[in-house]
Chains A and B, each alone.
Chain A
Amino acid sequence: LAKTTQPISMDSYEGQEVNITCSHNNIATNDYITWYQQFPSQGPRFIIQGYKTKVTNEVASLFIPADRKSSTLSLPRVSLSDTAVYYCLVGPNNAGNMLTFGGGTRLMVKP
């Protein structure tokens, strides 16, 4: 499984756009990139997944460069409720795969 590296923490203010970058230099050809969000005392929640270029949904955008060795989760106009830990995962796109979540990025949104 490809190892991922993310910043340990980030601070932002309400209304700002937040970009969290994840490095995955040894990503394999069949690996997808998935991001999860975890609030205190809750399990992680799937946010977005992509393979290459750009993916956008109602929550976030995911930017993946051509070499796929990194990816950036973009949260538009964050609010206080976006304060959470964000995990980047890289792994095979099939049921039963083993995914170990790294330490994630702790995002603190301030008023």
Chain B
Amino acid sequence: DTAVSQTPKYLVTQMGNDKSIKCEQNLGHDTMYWYKQDSKKFLKIMFSYNNKELIINETVPNRFSPKSPDKAHLNLHINSLELGDSAVYFCASSQDPGIYGYTFGSGTRLTVV
């Protein structure tokens, strides 16, 4: 049973397209996150949702829109994809990060051509 699952694992698309990445967690955690990892391996927080409510929204272009239909799901929709959006996107969840940290999915490698 995968705790945090993302789909798709790989995504290759052309500039200007719109795409979505889905994330689901079966851990019963209240908080979910989207992170972006660039080529230098820096992982930057993009969004955080707590019980379906947006609580963190870092400086991310408006083309990125998270959606949380329920607390077990946090999807990421990206409009008008650009070359610079190519990266690995990780979904994560937590209940008490002070004790157990964050549980990450295996990532979605997005390549914009």
Contact = CB atoms under 8 A, between A and B. Distances in A.
Contacts of A38: 41
B66 interface: no
B97 A95 contact: yes
Contact of B44 (A36, A44, A100): A100
A43 B4 contact: yes
B24 to A, nearest CB: 14
Interface string B45-64: 10010100001101000000
A59 interface: no
B47 to A, nearest CB: 10
A31 B83 CA distance: 36
Interface of B: 4, 30-31, 35, 37, 40-45, 48, 50, 55-56, 58, 90, 92, 94-107
Interface of A: 32, 34, 36, 38, 41-46, 49, 85, 87, 93-104
